[in-house]
């Protein structure tokens, strides 16, 4: 314990940075565990699409979406979800919804907003489209 205190005394900025990182990891972990929106693997997402006719909501920019997206996906901007502009997808309110972004880092917030808007089953694709294409799963190009 004395060695830790000496280290903190000699390296206060490094110690504060370490504590900040620890707090961020704990916050992110706790938030993920308590969220109603769960993260699913590509296999689970494929099963939802094929067996339960899940809607895939792709949050990426329109040009990225047109270059390649999951078949049947609908391109909805995160800003539209935030503002409640859900006309394009509201008919799927009772269906499972898979929220997809570029790399799985930003979809959680949009998923939570969809849950608050009344969507019953919302999940987020782990690693987003990058993970999907990384496993050589099919992407289609053009407008959906």
Q: What is the CATH number of the domain that holds 97?
A: 3.40.250.10
Q: Are residues 76 and 95 in the same domain?
A: yes
pLDDT 10s digits, 8-50: 999 999 999 999 999 999 987 887 777 788 999 999 999 999 9
> For residue 63, which phi and psi values (nearest 5 degrees)?
-70, -40
Q: Are residues 59 and 122 in the same domain?
A: yes
pLDDT 10s digits, 83-139: 999 999 999 999 999 999 999 888 999 999 999 999 989 999 999 999 999 999 999
Strand order in the sheet with 38-40: 38-40, 121-125, 96-100, 55-58, 74-75
Report the pLDDT value the prediction gives residue 143, as an integer from 0 to 100: 67
Cβ-contact 115, 122 below 8 angstroms: yes
> For residue 76, which phi and psi values (nearest 5 degrees)?
-130, 125
Range of the domain at 63: 37-134
In a domain, 144, yes or no: no
Q: Are residues 85 and 28 in the same domain?
A: no
In a domain, 141, yes or no: no
Report the pLDDT value the prediction gives residue 49, as an integer from 0 to 100: 95
- Domain tally, the chain: 2
Torsion, CA 133, CA 33, CA 60, CA 81, rounded to 10 = 150
């Amino acid at each position: 314990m004395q060695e830790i205190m000496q280290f903190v005394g000699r390296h206060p900025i490094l110690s504060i940075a370490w504590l900040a990182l620890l707090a961020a990891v704990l916050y992110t972990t706790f938030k993920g565990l308590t969220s109603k929106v769960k993260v699913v693997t590509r296999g689970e997402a494929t099963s939802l699409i094929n067996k339960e006719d899940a809607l895939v909501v792709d949050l990426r920019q329109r040009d990225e979406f047109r270059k390649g997206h999951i078949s049947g996906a609908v391109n909805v901007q995160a800003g539209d979800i935030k503002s409640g502009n859900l006309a394009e997808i509201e008919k799927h309110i009772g269906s499972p919804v898979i929220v997809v972004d570029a790399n799985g880092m930003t979809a959680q917030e949009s998923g939570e907003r969809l849950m608050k808007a009344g969507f019953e089953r919302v999940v987020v694709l782990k690693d987003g489209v990058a993970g999907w294409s990384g496993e050589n799963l099919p992407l289609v190009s053009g407008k959906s």
